[in-house]
Amino acid sequence: MSLTLASALAEMPLVAILRGVKPDEVEAIAEAIVAAGIRILEVPLNSPDPLRSIGLLARGLAGRALVGAGTVLTVDDVAGVAEAGGTVIVSPNTNVEVIRASKARGLLSLPGFFTPTEAFAALEAGADALKLFPAEMASPAAVKAMRAVLPRSTKVLVVGGVSPQTIPPYLAVGVDGFGVGSDLYAAGRSATEVGERAAALTAAIRALNGERTA
């Protein structure tokens, strides 16, 4: 069965954000992350030589993880990611042209939003999921209120300040996933350390899911 956004999030509701990663280290770091159970990885375009890193991961993790780019701001960026082999387009903002360009190329679109107006504009343009950013400025109560008006099928991820301590209250209000950046990877961290951090995060998620189904 091919990996989809829904199946990847169902397996582990985390997106690994590798901001600052370099091509000569990205494969080892990504393997450590995937070994811990995370199935979605993004390389922000303000990282060193990001398209090369995306290309390496797209080839090396084919069938095992969804790979794409973060901080995608323009239609030209979308084209570059597609040509590198990336299949996921993540943005910090709601840009309907970027969303439409992503869908026209058959890519997954995960735009950032902060208000219901932005959320509905993104969905109308074809977004596959919505990324609430920055989550530090939106409480779980705010997410619950927005969830009440969004279509039930809408997948909502939160990004910003995500850690084992901040995840539980968002899960409780129906968030579908989390983008994890500095709590997982920061420039200079070894693959071993990143793998340990990934394992701790996935263990926390599994423990929480076990409590919710018990």
Q: What is the pTM of this model?
A: 0.95
Cβ–Cβ < 8 Å for 199, 183: no
Residues belonging to the active site: 42, 131
What gap in Å lies between CA 150 and CA 186, rounded to an integer? 33
Q: What is the DSSP string of 4-31?
A: -HHHHHHH--EEEE-TT--HHHHHHHHH
Q: Which of 33, 32, 27, 30 is nearest to 12 (CA)?
A: 33
Q: How would you write the pLDDT of the chain (214 residues) with one tens digit per residue?
A: 589 999 999 999 999 999 999 999 999 999 999 999 999 999 999 999 999 999 999 999 999 999 999 999 999 999 999 999 999 999 999 999 999 999 999 999 999 999 999 999 999 999 999 999 988 888 899 999 999 999 999 999 999 888 888 889 999 999 999 999 999 999 999 999 999 999 999 998 998 877 554 4
Q: Which of 92, 91, 42 is nearest to 69 (CA)?
A: 42
What gap in Å lies between CA 163 and CA 73, rounded to an integer? 26
Tell me what percent of the chain is helix, strand and coil, each rounded to the nearest 5: 45, 15, 40
Provide the pLDDT for residue 214. 47
Element (H, E) at 41: strand 40-44
Helix, strand or coil, per DSSP, at residue 42: strand
